[in-house]
Structure 1
Amino acid sequence: MSECEECDKMKRRKSDESEVEWCNLPGDLLSRIATYLDLIDFIRFRVVCKGWNIPHSEYNPSQRELWFLIYGEGSQCSFLKLGWQSAHSDRLYTNVNFHELDGATCLASYLGWLLLVREGAMFFFCPFSRSKIDLPSCPFTELSEHIAAFSADPTCEDCVVVVVRKSEQELELHSLRKGNKDWRKHSHRCSRSALNTVSGAGFSENKFQFLDAHDGLVTFNPDGKSSKNSWMSYRIVSHSSSKDLESLEYGIRKNMFGLLNMADRLGLKGSEDDNVSISTCGAMIFGLRWLPLLRGDSIILSETIAAAAADGQPVARHVKGITTVPWMGGK
């Protein structure tokens, strides 16, 4: 073998040894790449291959972000990230594919997790990490004005899930503690004068809190020894000089879709989609210092936004919306 041929052979060997499969890139390099990605790009990055499925904790934005997810038309969804500097810094992502949302309805949004129901099955889904946690068989056969809440990150051992529905004279509630296989059913006699249709729910001060769109509040303590000390009913007042009244640890946010001008932000005004109707899921979020409307901890009530079409014109489509904040731990 000539000296030239030997040299070429060594070069080829060295080249073969230096080649690294894309799916086997070093973890520290993948983590470094992740720090330069926007959240949606990070979600897509993680599903390229198994080796790129790095922990969600690698994504750590400097500002807590507020996202609005539009779904309800197959698995295709849209994500709107509200800009913390101004509305001009909003970012809208379309054609984001989540097959978990195909045919599903969201009952609760908290800590970046969604509680979903689909075809009689109930499960948690985190759109930011694409993690899914199945729950035991759904405690009801038909979905009818149900609202839900959960007490902690569903990966925590002390997580409790409740699903509630208001009938004429009764609150029907189902609860599930992590690790249990069976749901427990609870009932509370509650007239419409005490609580109208449940529009929002959350967990605060070790109790589940159920709100209507007026001034009704009913709380449920899952650790109560009896029905009598598990349930409490209240009327909410805006201002009072009385020192005997209790204060809520959160704000109640109504009509957030309109207050945040979401139709314009989502591009639903001034287009052929003017006659789209939207139903939004209630959410509980920790305060966003950069957004005055949500500066404190808040429960956002669910809403139904009717189509803006003229009388007689058919509704183009109906979609569903979810307000959510990626959870990075801490407040």
Structure 2
Amino acid sequence: MFVEGRMSNNEECKEMKRTKSDEWEVVEWCNLPGDLLSRIASYLELIDFLSFRSVCKEWLIPPSEYNPSCRELWFLLYGEGSQCSFLKLGSQSPNSERLYTVNFPELDGATCLASYLGWLLLVQEGAMFFFCPFSRAKIDLPDCPFTDLSEHVAAFSADPTCQDCVVVVVSRKSEVELELHLLRRGNKEWHKHCHRCVRSTLNTVSGAAFSEEKFQFLDADDGLVTFNADGKSSKSWANYRIVNHGSSKDVETLEYHVRKNMFGVLNIGQRLGFRGGEDDVVSISICGTMILGIQWLHILRNDSVILSETIVPDQQHVALARQIKGVWIQPRYVQVPPGLTW
């Protein structure tokens, strides 16, 4: 016997199951709980995550809830309109290498001067701006103070959203002088600095980094010139020669390794599908980067500066070559507050 109006345990259990089943039947994909969306996103590759966020506005989970490992290395090929190729180098896990085709209108007609912390510093028709290709975040800078881009390399000291970020662009003004343009966040004008430096001291600048509180500029011949931007030192510039570790006593040590010719060392052309046929002849101008060490990649296991380089075909194919550009980048998904200005 049961009291009127009460159900048996079995009846109550059935009712609970029916109610739960009904609830799941009416839940739409766009209304999935936020913690479940974050968990799904955590299993996605970076490019898949970007597609995931574009499904509907309810799936625009905060980027702070998705943290792709920056201990990866990607190569971005651009320079032919807005269509670009993204190569994610494979890791120790099988089938982890990926090649994507992505549309970036921001890169149409642009040239990359620096790559660091997932950000690119770009110049496009006289305008200069930061761009994060993984999140499409963009930060405009004051107008570019130069028009020629023949030997320009840049570096910045911190994430562009940081209040104390400093940007420098260095180039060779003449055979005996370097010219540097500097911009601090919050300033509207670039400041110019010059340094007497012959090519035997520093040839074509092929790399730049911010390390040990100084901007450091390198060539492919082991030359190194540093610039102290804090304005407190009476001697802002210093010249060095990089030597093998242990070959001299009482020498200063760099906090990073210098890596040259990485396009060939890592067989990037083959990985991108370039086979060397007449329809496949390219000339590639590549922007280097400073990266955090990648444990699975022996040659880049330590923090490193990858130097810029230019890949040209043999002499008989130069006239046929497509002129394209590339840049090394480590992935970060970052967004900036609406209306953020430099």
Query: What TM-score do the two structures reach when normalised by structure 1?
Result: 0.86
Q: How many angstroms does 1:50 deviate by? A: 4.2
Rounded to whole Å, the distance in 2 between the matches of 1:282 and 1:32 is 34
Q: How many angstroms does 1:31 deviate by? A: 1.8
Task: Decide whether aligned partners of structure 1 residues 88 and 33 sit closer, same or farther in structure 2, where only a CA change above 3 A counts.
Answer: closer
Q: How many angstroms does 1:260 deviate by? A: 0.4
Q: How many angstroms does 1:178 deviate by? A: 1.2
Task: Decide whether aligned partners of structure 1 residues 146 and 312 sit closer, same or farther in structure 2, where only a CA change above 3 A counts.
Answer: closer
Which residue of the partner structure matches residue 78 of structure 1?
Answer: 85
Which residue of the partner structure matches residue 5 of structure 1?
Answer: none
Counterpart contact for 1:274–1:307, Cα < 8 Å:
no
Which moves more between the two structures, 129-138 or 40-49? 40-49
Which residue of the partner structure matches residue 301 of structure 2?
Answer: 295
Q: Which runs of 5+ in 2 are unaligned?
A: 1-21, 335-342
Task: Decide whether aligned partners of structure 1 residues 284 and 313 sit closer, same or farther in structure 2, where only a CA change above 3 A counts.
Answer: closer
Q: How many angstroms does 1:193 deviate by? A: 1.4
Counterpart contact for 2:312–2:318, Cα < 8 Å:
no
Counterpart contact for 1:56–1:128, Cα < 8 Å:
no
Matched, 1:237 2:243: yes
Match of 1:121 among 124, 127, 144: 127
Counterpart contact for 2:288–2:307, Cα < 8 Å:
yes
Q: Which runs of 5+ in 1 are unaligned?
A: 1-13
Counterpart contact for 1:164–1:171, Cα < 8 Å:
yes
Task: Spell out, residue by residue over 1:210-229, the C-alpha distance to the aligned partner (whole angstroms, 9 max, x if none).
Answer: 00110210000101336x51
Task: Spell out, residue by residue over 1:267-297, the C-alpha distance to the aligned partner (whole angstroms, 9 max, x if none).
Answer: 1125554311111001111111111111111
Rounded to whole Å, the distance in 1 between the matches of 2:94 and 2:113 is 28
Paired AA for residue 87 in structure 2: L
Paired AA for residue 264 in structure 1: Q
Rounded to whole Å, the distance in 2 between the matches of 1:244 and 1:328 is 41
Which residue of the partner structure matches residue 265 of structure 1?
Answer: 271
Task: Spell out, residue by residue over 1:120-154, the C-alpha distance to the aligned partner (whole angstroms, 9 max, x if none).
Answer: 11111111121111111112123221100001111
Which residue of the partner structure matches residue 4 of structure 1?
Answer: none
Counterpart contact for 1:251–1:297, Cα < 8 Å:
yes
Counterpart contact for 1:277–1:315, Cα < 8 Å:
no
Q: How many angstroms does 1:30 deviate by? A: 2.9
- Classify the secondary structure of the residue corresponding to 2:72: coil
Task: Spell out, residue by residue over 1:20-64, the C-alpha distance to the aligned partner (whole angstroms, 9 max, x if none).
Answer: 583x65433432331232111112333444443333333334672
Q: How many angstroms does 1:177 deviate by? A: 1.0
Which residue of the partner structure matches residue 153 of structure 2?
Answer: 147
Q: How many angstroms does 1:155 deviate by? A: 1.1
Q: How many angstroms does 1:240 deviate by? A: 4.0
Which residue of the partner structure matches residue 292 of structure 2?
Answer: 286
Rounded to whole Å, the distance in 1 between the matches of 2:27 and 2:333 is 36
Task: Decide whether aligned partners of structure 1 residues 316 and 45 sit closer, same or farther in structure 2, where only a CA change above 3 A counts.
Answer: farther
- Classify the secondary structure of the residue corresponding to 1:158: coil
Rounded to whole Å, the distance in 1 between the matches of 2:95 and 2:38 is 29
Q: How many angstroms does 1:169 deviate by? A: 1.3
Rounded to whole Å, the distance in 2 between the matches of 1:192 and 1:128 is 37
Which residue of the partner structure matches residue 7 of structure 2?
Answer: none
CA-based RMSD: 2.4
Which residue of the partner structure matches residue 64 of structure 1?
Answer: 71
Q: How many angstroms does 1:88 deviate by? A: 5.4
Bigger CA radius of gyration: 2
Aligned length: 311
Matched, 1:315 2:312: no
Counterpart contact for 2:70–2:332, Cα < 8 Å:
no
Task: Decide whether aligned partners of structure 1 residues 141 and 51 sit closer, same or farther in structure 2, where only a CA change above 3 A counts.
Answer: farther
Rounded to whole Å, the distance in 2 between the matches of 1:326 and 1:57 is 14
- Classify the secondary structure of the residue corresponding to 2:79: strand
Which residue of the partner structure matches residue 166 of structure 1?
Answer: 172
Counterpart contact for 2:68–2:332, Cα < 8 Å:
no
Task: Decide whether aligned partners of structure 1 residues 49 and 88 sit closer, same or farther in structure 2, where only a CA change above 3 A counts.
Answer: closer
Rounded to whole Å, the distance in 2 between the matches of 1:51 and 1:121 is 34
Rounded to whole Å, the distance in 2 between the matches of 1:159 and 1:312 is 43
